[in-house]
Amino acid sequence: MEGPPDWADVPASWRAPVLPRAAAPSGNIGHRALDWLGEHAPGIVLAATLAWVAESGAQVVGARLLGYAKSPISGVPVAILLGLLVCNTAGLPASFKSGLRFCATTLLRTAIVLLGLRLSLGAAAGIGWQALPIVALCVLAALVLVPVIGRWAGVPPRLAALISVGTGICGVTAVVATAPALKAEEDEVSYAVACVALFGLAAMLVHPWIAQWVFAADARSAGFFLGTAIHDTSQVTGAALTYAGRFQAPEALNVATVTKLLRNLCLAGAIPLVAWR
């Protein structure tokens, strides 16, 4: 605050010369890369650390403490529980949010796409033709039965419709995509998203064991079940990875992935159908 203020009426000769600022090297690719890295690195490192701790911890507890040759505990649910623990105890500083958002969106979606690319077109087509009638039946049942049950339970029609598409097709994405067509209120969208996310998370943790109990060693049937019974694509992938790793059934992962992606394609037809009804 030393010297005359900018608004003071003083001779120009008294004023300190204004030096031009150096332009930020915005066109420099290296500069932009370092800027992106500085913004996202904390969250990415935190996510990678939690994933490594979860996978290592699951193996140590299952193999060394419980005495199994292969740990019966999957690192996927352990990582989720660690994330919940960190967010609800220490809290999540703002500096980590950009990187974690990148991991939960771009990185996760890329990984799911690469997971699908592992399959040949012939294998994917073979699984798809078998999954098509199961997917059609499950999606139709969700779109028809959930609103009926909602009416019986006193749930508002728009909220029941949002829950039906979230349950039947692709979780939170379906809820958010359908809401504008239904002119849904913000509280209805929030409640539907919370229901779909909560029950989808519970299903991801529990359904791999239900699949083994119901279908025994039939990995293909377990994959169809996981691909149709869990809401979100990432949740299906996590459950299928848990099942494949725990029960040595890699085919279940392939079948569940193709089945879930086939469900996602139904969104284009479900939105106008639900809005019209």
Are 227 and 255 contacting, i.e. CB atoms less than 8 angstroms apart? yes
Distance of alpha carbon 243 from alpha carbon 173, whole angstroms: 24
pLDDT of residue 91: 85
Alpha-carbon dihedral sign for residues 192, 197, 203, 206:
negative
pLDDT of residue 27: 58
pLDDT of residue 177: 85
Quick one: tokens of 244?
């494949």
Residues of the chain with pLDDT under 70: 1-27, 66-70, 116, 118-121
Domain limits, the chain: 33-117, 121-276
Alpha-carbon dihedral sign for residues 92, 98, 103, 108:
positive
Report the half-sphere exposure of 237 (CA within 13 A, side-chain side). Answer: 14
> Residues 245-261: pLDDT tens digits?
888 888 899 899 889 88
pLDDT of residue 149: 92
pLDDT of residue 125: 78
pLDDT of residue 1: 42
> Residues 188-207: pLDDT tens digits?
888 898 888 889 889 988 99
Question: Interior CA angle at 227 toward 164 and 188, to 5°?
Answer: 25
pLDDT of residue 105: 83
